[in-house]
Amino acid sequence: MTFTPIFAQAAGGAAPGLGDFASMIVPLAAIMVVFWFLLIRPQQKKMKDHQDLLKKIAKGDTVITNGGLIGKVVKVVDDNELQVEIGENVKVRVLRAGISDVRAKGEPVKSDTK
């Protein structure tokens, strides 16, 4: 029987360098940019719009709470609390953070021009 000598293969080239590193980082960076524009940025804009909505709540606005109650703002207690009428002579104090939406803005104050 004849045996042929087997030799170890030589290394294919130099050790992994800058080219391999860049080929890993570029796709990862591209994925992060896509996530930023499709997920994170719209969510931040939505949160900012909701915060602006909460700051602009005034007396006479019809609001919906996070619990699903619909009522009319009777009084702005302070920066964090509102008094909301949810039924005839039924008033509750609600945190501004507990408001999920403003359904209708109250009517502006009419000036007497007589």
Higher pLDDT, 2 or 75: 75
CA distances to 52, 76, 85, 114 from 99, rounded to whole Å, are 12, 13, 14, 39
Q: Lowest-confidence range among 1-10, 69-78, 100-109?
A: 1-10
Instruction: Provide the pLDDT confidence category of residue 4 given band limits of 50, 70 and 90.
Output: confident
Under 8 Å CB-to-CB from 97, ≥6 apart: which residues? 54, 80
List the 62-65 sheet strands across, edge first.
90-95, 81-87, 70-76, 62-65, 99-104
Q: Which amino acid is at 96?
A: R
Say whether domain 58-108 belongs to CATH 3.10.150.10. no
The 10s digit of each residue's pLDDT in 27-86 is 999 999 999 999 999 999 999 999 999 999 999 999 999 999 999 999 999 989 999 999
Spatial separation of the C-alpha atoms in residues 43 and 50, rounded to whole Å:
11
pLDDT, tens digit, for every residue of 85-97? 999 999 999 999 9
**Structure token pair of residue 71:** 């009522």
Query: Mean of the pLDDT values across residues 5-33?
Result: 74
pTM across the whole model: 0.64
